[in-house]
Amino acid sequence: MKGEGKRILVAPLNWGLGHASRCIPLVNALLEYGFEPVFAGDGASLELLASEFPLLRTYELPSYGIRYAKTPWLFKLKLLSQYARIQKAVSAEHDRVQEIILKEKVSGTLSDNRFGVWSKQVPSVYLTHQLNVEAGWMSSQASRWHQSIISNFDRCWVCDFKGEESLAGVLSSNGNKLKNVDWIGPLSRFSKAGEETVTTTKQSKKTIDIGVVLSGPEPSRSQFEKKVIEVLTGRKEKVVLVRGVIGPSEETAAESQSSRIEQNLTIYDFMLANELEELIRQSRILITRSGYSSIMDLYAIGAKALLVPTPGQSEQEYLADRMRAKGWFAVVRQNEFSWNSVKEALDHPWTETKKTSKSTDDATVFDVFLQGN
């Protein structure tokens, strides 16, 4: 087979579950082409990959230990105040990666926004949708810093379409003309997003009125969960809520099905990819954050959704506004989230998402790893 058993170290950032979830289709493709993925990371993102691929090996990396502000207006300042500590963690991460490469005889690394997961000894790939970082008044400085990180890698894979068909808009545009960029098309754990025919949910039987999938960093995730439960409990509509909280990695897939019922709400801690896809297809509408990985999943399925950007995250606010302008999804800010906003979303006049051919072929893009040992 093409990969000939070459080991690829796959390492997603532990910021919510989006970075890990969009690695799932790449891991499946690596396996299909004969590579052997090995996982590295920390926290819930590593646990998600371990749950999806229990037979593959995992390694712990130093946590960036990012702490998040409880109030939106302090979000960016809180991150900025932790810069020195994060840089120290990145340096330790880089050293740890070199050890794993030697131990596992790794032939290449694939980092989803983990800044230290690269090596001069093997081909190194960086996965992102943000060549330009949307961070409000910090955008210009943050973008230059991020592009300097990208320059450490042999290739940068942008999980988006190039040009006018882009989902991420200015975030994935290459105005600064980085030389190592490949646009590989959107990535979804649910289906092959970017194909000319993308499955829609029109013919799916709707057995659930409202699906809710929560994700993202604390304390924002918990704050939104509390508000969702307050707004939706006691309604006549059937609601299924996925909290986005993963237990220890040794939990089995069957245990992801454990749930509790509170009036009209059925609540799960987490679901595996196939379970989430079924939930989304069966829901009249999905309430979720406007993280880019969520948008790619919704695009792949053609689902109806109410996007609620994480307060203080300029990127999510930009993406939500972009999706609303296209007419693809309804949008509401968290402080305005109410039953009225949910009802309006259920009655929203939807525009069909325009399907675009995929930018690259997996077999070709993986050639970078054939240069390794």
Q: What is the CATH number of the domain that holds 321?
A: 3.40.50.2000
Shared domain for 116 and 17, answered yes or no, is: yes
Residue 196 is assigned to a structural domain of this protein? no
- Residue pLDDT, tens place only, 56-112: 999 999 987 665 555 554 455 555 655 677 888 999 999 999 999 999 999 999 999
| Contact between residue 52 and residue 12 where contact means Cβ atoms under 8 Å apart | no
Take residue 104 and report the two structure tokens written for it.
């596992």
pLDDT of residue 363: 60
**DSSP 8-class letter at 132:** S
**Judgement on whether residues 225 and 101 belong to the same structural domain of the protein:** no
Q: What is the pLDDT of residue 354?
A: 58
Residues 153 and 229 in one domain: no
Name residue, tokens 């979720």. Answer: 288
Domain check: are 320 and 217 in the same one? yes
Q: 27 φ, ψ to 5°? A: -65, -45
pTM: 0.86
* 51 and 155 together in one domain: yes
Is residue 260 domain-shared with residue 135, that is, in the same domain? Answer: no
Judgement on whether residues 163 and 212 belong to the same structural domain of the protein: no
pLDDT of amino acid 114: 96
Phi, psi of 108 (to 5 degrees): -175, 160
**3-state percent helix, strand, coil for the chain, nearest multiple of 5:** 40, 15, 45
Q: How many domains does the chain have?
A: 2
Domain membership of residue 310 (yes or no) is yes
Q: Does residue 149 belong to any structural domain of this protein? A: yes
Collapsing DSSP states into helix, strand and coil, what is residue 166? coil
For residue 198, being part of any structural domain is answered with no
- Indicate whether 233 and 151 sit together in one domain: no
Residue 356 has pLDDT above 70, yes or no: no
DSSP H stretches of helix in the chain: 18-32, 43-52, 75-81, 83-104, 139-150, 220-232, 273-282, 292-301, 314-326, 339-346, 362-365
Residue in this structure with the two tokens 């893009």, named with its chain if needed: 365
Write the burial class of residue 280 (CB in 10 Å: 0-12 exposed, 13-18 middle, 19+ buried): buried
The pLDDT assigned to 258 comes to 64
Quick one: residue 133, left, alpha or beta (phi over 0 = left, psi -120 to 50 = alpha)?
A: beta
Q: Which structural domain range is residue 122 located in? A: 7-185+358-371
Contact status, residue 300 vs residue 186, Cβ threshold 8 Å: yes
Please indicate, yes or no, whether residues 220 and 168 belong to a single structural domain of this protein. no
Please report whether residue 282 resides in a domain: yes
Q: Between these two residues, 44 and 96, which has the higher pLDDT value?
A: 96
Evaluate if residue 141 carries a pLDDT over 90.
no
The string of DSSP codes covering 197-248 is S---STTS---EEEEEE--SSTTHHHHHHHHHHHHHTT-SS-EEEE------
Distance between CA 373 and CA 369 in Å, rounded?
A: 9
Rounded mean pLDDT, 326-333: 94
135 pLDDT more than 90: no
What are 88's two structure tokens? 């120290």
| Domain-embedded: residue 307 | yes
Statement: residue 44 has pLDDT above 60: yes
Q: Which carries the bigger pLDDT value, residue 252 or residue 213? A: 213
Model pLDDT for residues 144-177, shown as the tens digit of each residue: 889 999 999 999 999 999 988 899 999 999 866 7
**What are 259's strand-pairing partners?**
268
Same domain, 149 and 232: no
Residue 2 included in any domain: no
Residues 291 and 180 in one domain: no
Please state whether beta strands 259-262 and 265-268 pair in parallel, antiparallel, or not at all (unpaired): antiparallel
Averaged pLDDT, 278-294: 96
Regarding whether 324 and 249 lie in a shared domain, the answer is yes
352 domain-assigned? no
